[in-house]
Amino acid sequence: MKKIVVAFGTRPEAIKMAPVVRALRNASSGFEAVVVVTAQHRQMLDQVLDVLEVGADYDLDLMVANQTLAGFTSRSIVSLTDCITGIDPDCVLVHGDTSTAFTAALAAFYNQVPVGHVEAGLRTGNLMSPWPEEANRKLIGALAQHHFAPTQRAADNLLREGVDSQNILVTGNTVVDSLLWVTDELLTRPSSLQAMNDRFDFLDAQSQLVLITNHRRENFGDGMQAVLDGILQLTKDWPEVQFVFPTHLNPQARGPAEATLGSSKNVFLIEPVEYLEFVYLMKRSTLIITDSGGVQEEAPSLNIPVLVTRNETERPEAVEAGTATLVGTDRALLVQEANRVLERAERTAGDHLVNPYGDGQAADRILAALRKTYGTL
């Protein structure tokens, strides 16, 4: 059997690669899937591996306290190169824009193993935003042989960079696959639903809910503080609305959140939540305020509008489709747009959001392409 290494290290990667792993591990796929994790984010990665039923074959356990990008990158290149050498796969699949994705692609290149890039082609055009993710995307793109683009716009970005059209496949985004699997499979189980209700028993079913995430490096400092000040204003303007904020483990994100919002009675600053819990919170939300890329892709499938607290986004499809609004770190604009959503008493059928990121069949398309390429059909 042909061997495919699936390499990742963070929670978002695990969420988005889980459907691909399940497809490859299906008895009829014709492949042996080997999952290699770097544990770039140890705790947050572990939260989702069990929930999404993805077991790691190799856990390199590379995370260290207060790690730097250079330190992690150097450890990762050495460990992944040794690991891939030992496995001797036919292809290495990486996802998106993390340091793990870049170093896994480079390690595969050093071993002369073809690289498949899932979620290929996302670009802001600004090498410093998001940082270092934009650089990682472009570097992986230079090393990859298979480019699995989530949208036609992403494919067009690759074509402009000179990638052969025969090496690009528009698949949709695998995050939609994961989201629909969780909502259709896990959250329909009475035991899971009861566990979620118990976990978030502080939520009032009659209240509107605003879900918040905030962690981007490029926003650290004044930008992040402006966002938090805007949220603080909203909590005062809307005392009957509940604001749920799973705070990131990075102290540069968590510290300002606790200092600014910690005394607000209608704000619930909670520990990072597991993926199943986050989907549950998204489903209950009226609005999501986030700097996360994945949430921009997920929320439209749940009919939830998103305010994106970034000055640039590599996911303009959501903005153009009207499912997301770019507010950056402009406090006044954030408050204005949040008020616009919250002032609507209820969303009508006419407000239904169409997800521009796919139909939940992305992993099947990737599997079909790999089978065609590696002769397992």
Q: Is 119 a catalytic residue?
A: yes
The span from the CA of 301 to the CA of 361, in Å, is 14
Q: What is the pLDDT of residues 261-274, one digit of tens each?
A: 999 999 999 998 98
The per-residue pLDDT of the chain, averaged, comes to 92
Catalytic pick among 22, 42, 90, 133:
133
- Beta-strand pair 287-290/209-212: parallel
Q: What is the pTM of this model?
A: 0.84
Q: Is 117 a catalytic residue?
A: no
Catalytic pick among 11, 13, 22, 97:
97
Amino acid at 373: T
- C-beta separation of 123 from 313 below 8 A: no
The span from the CA of 250 to the CA of 259, in Å, is 14
CB atoms within 10 A of CB 282: 21
Q: What is the pLDDT of residues 292-318, one digit of tens each?
A: 888 999 999 998 999 999 988 888 999
Q: Is 217 a catalytic residue?
A: yes
Burial class (CB in 10 A: 0-12, 13-18, 19+), 176: buried
Q: Is the pLDDT of residue 282 over 60?
A: yes
pLDDT band at 68 (very low <50, low <70, confident <90, very high): very high
Catalytic pick among 13, 90, 119, 337:
119
Please, what CATH class does the domain formed by 2-172+361-374 belong to? alpha beta
Residue 66 in 3-state DSSP? coil
Residue 98 or residue 40, greater confidence: 98
Residue 212 in 3-state DSSP? strand
- Give the model's pLDDT for residue 351: 61
Q: Cis omega (within 30 of 0) on the bond before 114?
A: no
The span from the CA of 187 to the CA of 197, in Å, is 11
Q: Is 222 a catalytic residue?
A: no
Q: What is the pLDDT of residues 212-233, one digit of tens each?
A: 998 777 778 898 999 999 999 9
Catalytic pick among 42, 215, 216, 315:
215
The span from the CA of 376 to the CA of 373, in Å, is 8
Nearest residue to 219 (alpha-carbon basis) of 261, 269, 256, 246: 256
Q: CB under 8 Å to 249, separation ≥6 — which residues?
A: 41, 43, 44, 272
Catalytic pick among 25, 75, 199, 248:
248
Does the structural domain 180-351 have CATH classification 3.60.9.10?
A: no
Residue range(s) of every CATH 3.40.50.2000 domain in the chain? 2-172+361-374, 180-351
- With a pLDDT cut of 70, the percent of the chain lying above it is 98
Catalytic pick among 75, 217, 254, 371:
217
Mean pLDDT of the region 104-108: 98
- C-beta separation of 143 from 109 below 8 A: yes
- C-beta separation of 99 from 69 below 8 A: yes
Nearest residue to 141 (alpha-carbon basis) of 165, 166, 108, 116: 116
Ordered DSSP codes for 291-359: --HHHHHHGGGGT--EEE-SS--S-HHHHHHTSEEE-TT-HHHHHHHHHHHHTSSS--GGGPPPPTT--
- C-beta separation of 293 from 213 below 8 A: no
- Give the model's pLDDT for residue 377: 59
